[in-house]
Amino acid sequence: MAPLDVDKVLAELDLNEKIDLLSGIDFWHTKPIKRLGVPSIRTSDGPNGVRGTQFFNGVPAACFPCGTGLAATWDTALLEDGGRLMGREAIAKGAHVILGPTVNMQRSPLGGRGFESFSEDPYLAGAMGAAVVSGIQDTGVAATIKHFVCNDQEHERQAMDAIVSQRALREIYLMPFQIAQRDAKPLAYMTAYNRVNGTHMSDNKKILHDILRDEWGFDGLVMSDWFGTYTSADSINAGLDLEMPGPPRVRGSQTAIDVGLRKVYERTIDERVRKLLELINKVDKLNIPENAPERTIDCKETSEALRLIGTNSHVLLKNDGQVLPFKKDKSVAVIGPNAKIACYAGGGSANLRPYYAVTPFEGIEVQGNDVRYALGAAGYRRLPDLGSTIKTADGKPGLTAKFFINPPSEKERKQVDQVHVDTSDILLSDYKNPQITSEYFWVDLEGTLTPAETREWLFGVSVSGTAKLFIGGQLVVDNTENQRQGDSFFGSGTVEEVGSINLDAGKTYQVLVQFGSSATSNMKTTGATVMAGGGVRVGGTVKTEAQDEIDKAVKLAKEVDQVVIIAGLSADWESEGYDRKHMELPGAANEMIAAVAAANPNTAVFMQSGTPVGMPWASSVPAIVQAWYGGNETGNAVADVLFGKANPSGKLPLSFPVRNEDNPAFLNYRSERGRTLYGEDVYVGYRFYEKVQREVLFPFGWGLSYTTFEMSNLRVEDSTSGKLVVRVDVKNTGSQRGAQVVQVYVSQEAPSINRPVKELKGFSKVWLDPGEQKEVRVELDKKYATSFWDEGAEAWTSEADEYSILVGDSSVSTPLRAGFGVAKTSWWKGL
């Protein structure tokens, strides 16, 4: 298709057509104007993989490690390659626009979407975001950097007002976006749900227009987060081009009224429409037809790329006595709640249906010789998904979903569809069937369960709608009356209602879930958007006693040469829609880890979480690895690091505090009657811990290796072009090939205001063979490296002063120091 003549199209559009273009038409697509050749373009989540257009039974996709895992690579070239793979995945899904990456700040360990973001440090987040954006846009697909700005918690995320100083807003929260805008030029931005200093971001003209467009020169499209447009006239005047999803909730007919009232001028609408038409032209070369079929690119090359990123994301936090890597010819016990579960992603819109998902146990079993298993401790928040436990009548894992337009009480009801689903966690917001014309419909989910042992089982049901669960014809859970609102299904669902039943080993039981769509529920929801169709989640597991499982794990640990514990969180604990309540591991995990480590001195813990967890046993466990949520290749990447096939080279992109009470946002991390005070100001993460000299469990930038490195011979060149060139020699002094990250921090000697002790301003990762030495070069932009935001001048200020370059391998280990000066104070704005 030839590019649109934007001016000609604008001239020929009538007002109603222009207004139609200001909103999507459904969950993923923009409005086409056929008579003028304006096509519909497709968007798709998200930050760690491209789902496509379906939450329900979608086309499988490549799942990348979570955002913190990606940032832990500290490897911009690797992430740029990852972005290219994301772009190819988008094209396969018929999508022109990826809704990612996420570059929000991690103010606290408890953030529900912390796993989705990159870092507590704005420079690292910006550099990683720019790399992903560059890779995506190399393929012709548009990247949407999000959530602009201060969407750093989930509690009351649409209502809360982030009260933040202008200095902190600039130096911490806007900076990742500013860096990405400077270095990668994203084609789209997504506004955050929340207010910033009194104004919702979708209405925030000061930030969307004055800063983003005028000061930074952004000329792309700004869209809302889904259901995050709250006004018609104010959002259009502020610079929000596109309300998503569609059909419009606040634009449409209201915008036509606003034009008549002269709250909005047609020329302003033209400016908004122009940005959409220009974006259509920018993605036109993809030649993706409207409503393109979705396909996969599941292949060896994709798997190898995901495995490489996964292994590079692992951070070796501790390795006393060189317990790691394990020896393949010795026996291994794999213990822990995450061992036989593939925790490949966090929850919410970042989640997707993966091509496949390798559990840690599966990956270890392939590479090990004598591999045994024990649960050790349960780790679920909601009872585990039954998808892999239940089978359909024809033997497939999962359930058969039968759709009806009448309730189960009508014996002659008509079945209108039948679908195989491989999960018992089902969201039907995007399910469509031409025979279902009402918001009322019903689904029977059917399968069989054959227990391996005679035990009491627990079953749980959470639902947006209504649901009953029958096992072997017996009603076990009824979640249809007296429902209680919970945090399932983005806050529109119930709490999990739990029932129990005794099941016999070897006996096959019929499993039946009778589900009614969201319209069948009488539950009154507050603070949540109830999605059409609703959803149901059924979980189940054998009932366990905590001490019994610990005893079994300890017994096994004593019988083997080596023990690896796979513990942590999951998509149930870290998810869009709610924040964590504390930093602790679930259930009896801490007690189990301490007991197992005491039983076998060759114990390593691999921790799966997107954000920090408490580790009260850290001093008594010899080896700890932060493994994040690893995407499709989770289990293989764990095994590669465990047995030394890959040398861990990741570094922490955020500080791990000893306790949640130690973190700088502790007193202010939630919405209080709609207000969240960013009281820590610019002292986020390591900036705070170093300023107040508070000990952490593991510091920002920390990460060991199976080899050792030496840095020396620091040189700094202060060029007249405004660049600082930092050079340092790095040598691999160990016996294995590995990678070191040279981290460059800057400190001002005598600032006129309080500033952090030092701040990350550059880094570079280098791979070295044993005995090999290379010169590493890191270039800094001098004005970015020295400036703070001067609220009085409303500008960046680079003060005349002496500055130090501090180089090392973490925020607490910067032994190399060199100086440079700024001769004259200057002020600047823009990029």
In terms of Cα–Cα distance, which of 461, 467, 492, 502 is closest to 481? Answer: 467
Active site residue 225: yes
In terms of Cα–Cα distance, which of 568, 549, 542, 555 is closest to 454? Answer: 542
Q: Are the C-beta atoms of residues 260 and 5 closer than 8 Å to each other?
A: no
| Spatial separation of the C-alpha atoms in residues 187 and 724, rounded to whole Å | 29
Who contacts 584 (Cβ-Cβ below 8 Å, separation ≥6)? 590, 613, 614
**β-bridge pairing 415-421 and 455-464:** unpaired
Structural tokens at position 440: 């009322």
State whether residue 700 is helix, strand or coil.
coil
Who contacts 342 (Cβ-Cβ below 8 Å, separation ≥6)? 357, 358, 359, 634, 635
Distance of CA 808 to the CA centre of its chain: 28
SS3 string, 65-115, reads CCHHHHHCCCCHHHHHHHHHHHHHHHHHCCCCEEECCECCCCCCCCCCCHH
Q: Which residue in 225, 234, 572, 809 is the catalytic one?
A: 225
C-alpha distances in angstroms, 399 versus 176, 200, 258, 357?
43, 42, 49, 18
In the numeric block, the tokens 């089982």 are attached to: 457
Distance of CA 253 to the CA centre of its chain: 35
Who contacts 746 (Cβ-Cβ below 8 Å, separation ≥6)? 758, 759, 761, 780, 785, 786, 803, 804, 805, 806
H helices of 542-585, in order, are 546-559
Structural tokens at position 39: 């096509």
Answer whether the bond into residue 534 is a cis peptide, omega within 30°.
no
| Spatial separation of the C-alpha atoms in residues 741 and 730, rounded to whole Å | 10
| Spatial separation of the C-alpha atoms in residues 555 and 551, rounded to whole Å | 6
In the numeric block, the tokens 């942590």 are attached to: 568
Q: How many CB atoms lie within 10 A of CB 184?
A: 23
| Spatial separation of the C-alpha atoms in residues 831 and 67, rounded to whole Å | 25
Structural tokens at position 828: 């600047």
Q: Per-residue b/e over 283-297, b at no fewer than 16 CB within 10 Å?
A: bbebebeeebebeee
- Give the Cα-Cα-Cα angle 259, 260, 263 (nearest 5 degrees): 50
State whether residue 432 is helix, strand or coil.
coil
SS3 string, 117-134, reads CCCCCHHHHHHHHHHHHH
Phi-psi sector, 119: left (phi>0), alpha (psi -120 to 50), beta? beta
Q: Are the C-beta atoms of residues 376 and 549 closer than 8 Å to each other?
A: yes
Q: From the CA atom positions of the chain, what is the Rg in Å?
A: 27
Who contacts 468 (Cβ-Cβ below 8 Å, separation ≥6)? 461, 475, 477, 478, 479, 480, 513, 514
| Spatial separation of the C-alpha atoms in residues 663 and 120, rounded to whole Å | 12
| Spatial separation of the C-alpha atoms in residues 409 and 407, rounded to whole Å | 5
Q: Are the C-beta atoms of residues 518 and 534 closer than 8 Å to each other?
A: yes
Q: How many CB atoms lie within 10 A of CB 129?
A: 34
Q: Are the C-beta atoms of residues 581 and 110 closer than 8 Å to each other?
A: yes
Which residues partner with 630 through β-bridges? none
| Active site members | 225
